[in-house]
């Protein structure tokens, strides 16, 4: 089976399973989305959604966030993990947005990735979910599944992103990003399926017998 044929199987099953793709992180606008995405690094969306209401009640704009002490931010976001690093980034990027961007989150990758704590994956999520610009943010779920489904060799996250962009129409990227994450959480977890059990894995590789060992990002 060709890679393009497996990609079509993936697309059809995901579209049937997840016709709607609500953004899993609660937010009010692009700034609060940016903060929520930053907090989601090595943390579940559920945990982030438990923490952000308290934070956003105190500060939901760059101006208000920049006036909070780093310690205050840290005490609220601590349950999300990496508290010292994330609180410093939130405080710093809020100050930068106020001083350099008129308190407006930039709508391009170059400026977003200059902000403290904002890497390519975070910028991709903000660009796609916040601004509606086609992007294909690759997280651990997508990196794992793309390998199990034979869509990439999994050399690294950058290569996985490039391979997926080649296989799927640009107009589907934003939706697919969420669909694959949803599937990874529900049917093809890191310590389950192993490339053998879920309907996408078994459809892409019906003759696979041994558990598939994916490369970690």
Q: Is the pLDDT of residue 158 over 90?
A: yes
Hey, what's the torsion of the CAs at 114, 84, 185, 140, to 10 degrees?
A: 50
Give me the chain's average pLDDT, please.
97
Domain ranges of the chain: 3-21+136-204, 30-130
Look at residue 155 and tell me whether its pLDDT is greater than 90: no
Helices (H), 18-114: 30-39, 45-58, 62-67, 70-77, 83-100, 109-112
pLDDT at 216: 86
Residue 217 has a pLDDT of 83
Q: Name 38's Cβ contacts closer than 8 Å, sequence gap at least 6.
A: 86, 89, 90, 93, 117, 118, 122
> Is the pLDDT assigned to residue 166 strictly greater than 90?
yes
Tell me how far the alpha carbon of residue 87 is from its chain's centroid.
19
Class of domain 30-130: mainly alpha
Contact present, 160 and 152 (Cβ < 8 Å): yes
The CATH classification number of 3-21+136-204 equals 1.10.1670.10
Tokens 């500060």 appear where? 59
How does residue 154 score in pLDDT terms, banded at 50, 70 and 90? confident
């Amino acid at each position: 089976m060709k890679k393009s044929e497996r990609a079509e199987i993936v697309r059809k099953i995901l579209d049937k399973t997840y016709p709607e793709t609500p953004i899993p992180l609660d937010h009010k606008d692009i700034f609060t989305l940016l903060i929520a995405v930053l907090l989601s690094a090595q943390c579940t969306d559920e945990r982030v959604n438990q923490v952000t209401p308290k934070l956003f009640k105190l500060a939901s704009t760059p101006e208000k966030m920049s006036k909070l002490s780093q310690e205050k931010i840290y005490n609220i976001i601590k349950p999300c993990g990496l508290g010292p690093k994330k609180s410093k980034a939130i405080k710093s990027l809020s100050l930068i947005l106020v001083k350099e961007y008129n308190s407006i989150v930039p709508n391009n990758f170059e400026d977003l990735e200059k902000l403290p704590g904002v890497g390519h994956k975070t910028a991709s999520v903000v660009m796609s979910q916040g601004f509606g610009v086609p992007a294909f943010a690759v997280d651990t779920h997508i990196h794992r599944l793309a390998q199990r489904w034979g869509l990439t060799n999994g050399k690294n996250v950058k290569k996985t992103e490039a391979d997926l962009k080649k296989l799927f129409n640009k107009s589907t990227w934003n939706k697919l990003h969420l669909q694959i994450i949803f599937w990874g959480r529900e049917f093809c977890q890191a310590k389950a399926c192993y490339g053998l059990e879920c309907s996408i894995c078994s459809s892409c590789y019906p003759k696979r017998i041994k558990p598939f060992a994916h490369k970690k990002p």
